Chains A and B, each alone.
Chain A
Amino acid sequence: MMRHILCFGNPLHGDDGFGPAVYQRLSQLPLAADVRLFDAGTPGLAALALFRDCAEVVVVDALAPAGHPGRLLELAAEAIPLESAAAGHGHGVGYLLAALAVMPEPAPTVRIVGVEAAAVEPFRPGLSAPVAAAVERAVALLSVYFAPQHHE
């Protein structure tokens, strides 16, 4: 069974570009044969398809600011609450994970690698310094998905 790495976010909106930045770095590295990497963007329910046909999913995303910008966290899917905006096309990952749990087939194991954002600024491309510094740390955390010869 495959393993999927899904990088969520929109690089036009400040630290929301964390996922895409991790994608950029990972796409330059040799991943293991059973790993598929996706620049998932902000797809809403369409992302349910990316959770299919795989045993494990790693979600890479920005977390809401909570006083420690750039802090990298590994979370279980259960730790992500449903967004207050519970419906609409703007479905976030919380909604997606709740939807995944009610799909008829067994869900893959979900790991979440998140970075605490400094600020999400609409239409201001570019990561804040603490979040930019977290990109390499996230990539290191994901080194278990690299091809064996690159696995240190």
Chain B
Amino acid sequence: MARVELNLSLNRVEGDLEIAVVLEDGVVAEARTVGTLYRGFEQIMLGRAPRDSLVITPRVCGICGTAHLYSAVLALEQIWQVPVPPNAVRIRNLCLIAEGIQNDLRQTFLFFAPDFCNPRYRDQAWFAELTERFEPFRGSIYRQTLAQSRKAVEVVAQFGGQWPHSSYMLPGGVTIPPDLRRILACRAVLDDIQHWYEQVIVGAPLDEWLALDSADAYFEWLETPAHADSALGLLSRCARSLGLHGMAAGTRHMLSFGAWCDPQQASGRLLPGGFYDGDSATLSPFDQQLVNEHVRHSWFRPYPGGRHPLNGETVPDFQPNSDRYTWAKAPRYGDKAVQTGPLAELLIGGDALIRSLHAAEGGNAWLRQFARVRRIAYELAGARRMLEELAADIGQPHILNPAKSAEIDGEGFGLIMAARGALGHWLKIEDGVIAQYQIVTPTAWNASPRDSNGLPGHWEQSLVGVAVQDPDDPIEIGHIIRSHDPCLVCTVHMLDSGKKLRFAP
């Protein structure tokens, strides 16, 4: 038996992520995801004024800063028991949706789809068509996605002044009221994206596409030119012809905190959350008490077992030459490794088509990507609803500033569905300053290392059993990892001067 160890620096993914796999006779026998960057926000927050979290934590990520801001403000509002007016919730949701659309478009059409332009696929029936649409900078969809995704975040700029890293949510509301000019500007942006999504991405009006409710109906529709020739139809045909619908399920357990707060009742969610137990195929309400994080295989100061975030710690302790291998912790729900993201969000939230496809074929790499494109329809419909409600209620307050005396000590959490899945901030305030801050990101769930019991995380599980044709160009692993929408953080930034600037002395 040939046993080969590969360390893959997935440079199309990012510099902060490496995947180490062991191949046995060309098949992945085990996998480790290595987060190579210490984030450190938990330590940065200690001893600071509670409201600092609204400025600092949106900088965790350049893609989902709105989600971090939203989680941070929800946690403060829970501790201080601050009511939030419906218009503030609508504006927050609208901005979170815009950020999500930006991510879902870029992830699908700039990161995931271009992998199929690999020369290895040149004999596939779809290759020419696919390259014409998805080749970087040349493909029609690739180019259109660059323009459309840039437009989406203008919605955040309307209310947040900038994107990313904006700080326009405050305990009790948002900083800018809705006015007709802003509502119309957002409407114009979203109308444009929706028109493009209907015409080019799915090939059907939004309502018709959302009404599609079974796997059989979808596969039938995939045979019609309207959808088969759309961007999603083409992607589905090509991913399925490569067998991506039969691989890389990962853990069967899924987690969603529920998408978008209900403006009428901030603790409710417009799309319900919960925990999907993949062993029994049952849904149960989410219980945040069950969240715990392990560090047995991570470069943090050791502690036994798992800890709930309110009792957690994130103290760096680099231990090379040990069996520890990542800067990511291992979050668990009870003792279960779970996955989160659009697939979990729509399956738990009740989308009939995703539930039917999942029941028919189980979790898989194609379905994860498909769910991400499907979610854009929910995002567009949700954004429209928020804008209509804002227009109808335009004179209502956008913030109810809490009295200074409300800013008491205590502990709480803010849970939100970010573009990549379930995001939570947990904090404790003591003597008026932050005494504890723990952030559990979607990628922490998905890219989790092994826990104290040796149980691998979701990505690690999803890679086991995958056949790699060419270890020098393991594009199968690239498809799978990118179907998870790996989060990446910009670290070193350089102009690559390439050969053109190499002057001989």
Question: Which residues of A are in contact with B by a Cβ distance under 8 Å?
Answer: 8-10, 13, 16, 42-46, 48-49, 61-64, 66-68, 73, 79-90, 92-94, 98-99, 101-104, 112, 114, 116-117, 120, 122
Contact = CB atoms under 8 A, between A and B. Distances in A.
Given A43-B164, A45-B150, A46-B163, A90 B488 contact: yes
Contacts of A112: 495
B14 A89 contact: yes
Given A42-B490, A62-B495, A122-B492, A88 B146 contact: no
B221 interface: no
A63 B164 contact: no
Contacts of B136: 86-87, 98
Nearest to A88: B14
A94 B498 CA distance: 10
A66 B488 CA distance: 28
Contact of B493 (A8, A79, A82, A114): A8
A138 B111 CA distance: 36
Given A43-B164, A90-B14, A98-B137, A84 B111 contact: no
A82 B11 CA distance: 14
Nearest to A89: B488
Given A42-B490, A89-B63, 11 more contacts: A46-B153, A64-B498, A66-B503, A68-B503, A81-B498, A84-B11, A88-B11, A89-B487, A94-B495, A98-B136, A103-B147
Given A68-B503, A85-B15, A92 B62 contact: no
A88 B12 contact: yes
A10 B502 contact: no
Contacts of A89: 14, 62-63, 487-490
A114 B493 CA distance: 13
B12 A85 contact: yes
A98 B136 CA distance: 9
A92 B149 contact: no
B500 interface: yes
Given A43-B164, A64-B501, A99-B146, A16 B14 contact: no
B137 A102 contact: yes
A99 B146 CA distance: 7
Contacts of A10: 490-493
B146 A85 contact: no
B280 interface: no
Interface of B: 11-15, 62-63, 106, 110-111, 114, 136-137, 143, 146-147, 149-150, 153, 157, 163-164, 487-503, 505
A93 B493 CA distance: 9
Nearest to B112: A87
Given A67-B505, A85-B12, A87-B114, A44 B146 contact: no
A150 B491 CA distance: 37
B257 to A, nearest CB: 23
Contacts of A99: 137, 146
Nearest to B12: A87
Main secondary structure of the interface of A (DSSP, over half): loop
A23 B34 CA distance: 35
Given A88-B488, A99-B146, A61 B495 contact: yes
Nearest to B150: A48
A44 B490 contact: yes
14 contacts: A8-B495, A44-B62, A48-B150, A49-B153, A64-B494, A80-B495, A82-B137, A87-B12, A88-B13, A89-B62, A98-B137, A103-B150, A120-B494, A122-B491
B497 to A, nearest CB: 4
A63 B149 contact: no
A48 B63 CA distance: 14
A15 B337 CA distance: 41
A66 to B, nearest CB: 5
A66 B157 CA distance: 39
Contact of B497 (A44, A66, A85): A66
Contacts of B157: 49
A82 to B, nearest CB: 8
Identify the interface centre among B110, B143, B157, B498: most chain A CB within 10 Å of its CB. Answer: B498
B146 A73 contact: no
A98 B490 CA distance: 19
Contacts of A42: 62, 490-491, 493
Contacts of A16: 492-494
Contacts of B498: 64, 80-81
Nearest to A112: B495
A57 to B, nearest CB: 14
B496 A81 contact: yes
Given A45-B150, A66-B502, A90 B495 contact: no
Nearest to B502: A66
B475 to A, nearest CB: 14
B481 to A, nearest CB: 11
The 9 closest A-B pairs by CB, nearest first: A42-B493, A81-B498, A42-B490, A89-B488, A102-B143, A63-B497, A88-B14, A64-B497, A83-B496
